[in-house]
Amino acid sequence: MPKAPALIGKLAETFVGRRARVLRTDRIAPDFLEVEFRADPPAGGWQPGHEVQVRATPTEGRRYNVRTVEASDRITILAVLHGDGPGARWLQRLHPGAETTLLAGRHVPLRLGGTRRLFIGDGSALGTLDAYASADVHAPAVVIETPSASVDQLRSRWPRYRFVPALADDPGATIRAWLDETLSREDRVEVDGALLLGHAQSIQGQRQALVSAGILDRRAITTRPYWATGRTGL
């Protein structure tokens, strides 16, 4: 959730800015908005999982990841509408025909370990998780903690994924309960890699649980925090 002087933001737009027009917006669940853009591709073209940044305000940036690439210049981004933060306000101002600027360089994919991977995250990472997990036919589990009001609709759209309801005052608690129960089972599914995204403090606990249980070496776990307790909202 970077902050920078307005002049720095303008310079970033000059060097890595991609002109984009909103083609559609779709509230796929109460807390999630999917936006399709027609956007000038960066060097190497758009890729699923591609990180983009927007200037939600003149001095505040927000990062999102491309969920799907529909054509060389058509991409979708899926974002959680979390509270009343700058990113949520920016997203809700979008409408078909609106023009904006996406900041993006050449795609740098996440380095994932193993071939049977566990994917874990929260609503802030749903688009990224889907970008990677949808291409991984061997993934034994994709577990995502989201606001409870959206769980049923997300389950209907992605029946392969396990969606669990988040507790408003204890992020990561329901995933940790699922992980503790899974690790205690004798018939647990074996994995050789993991991708953990979303809430920083939750990621730390999840990684420690996997390592302490002897399931994975730390080097086989890829992490990326998107937000942290006590920081400015999304």
103, 130, 145 - which closes a domain: 103
Give the span between the Cα atoms of 26 and 98, in whole angstroms. 14
> What is the per-residue pLDDT across 177-228, written as a single tens digit (0 to 9) for each?
999 999 888 667 789 999 999 999 999 999 999 999 999 999 999 999 999 9
Enclosing domain of residue 209:
117-227
**pLDDT band for position 13 (50/70/90)?**
confident
Residue 66, domain member (yes or no): yes
Do 99 and 121 belong together in one domain? no
Q: What is the pTM of this model?
A: 0.92
Q: In this structure, what CATH number is given to the domain that contains residue 139?
A: 3.40.50.80
Residue 223, domain member (yes or no): yes
Q: Is the pLDDT of residue 94 over 80?
A: yes
What integer pLDDT is reported at residue 39 of this predicted model?
A: 98
72, 103, 134 - which closes a domain: 103
- Give the dihedral sign, CA 213/216/218/221: negative
Residue 123, domain member (yes or no): yes
Q: Is the pLDDT of residue 108 over 80?
A: yes
Question: Residue 52 contacts by C-beta under 8 Å, 6 or more apart in sequence?
Answer: 18, 63, 64, 65, 66, 77, 102, 103, 104
**pLDDT band for position 232 (50/70/90)?**
low
Give the span between the Cα atoms of 231 and 110, in whole angstroms. 24
Domain count, the chain: 2
**pLDDT band for position 49 (50/70/90)?**
very high
Q: Is the pLDDT of residue 230 over 80?
A: no
- Give the dihedral sign, CA 221/224/227/231: positive
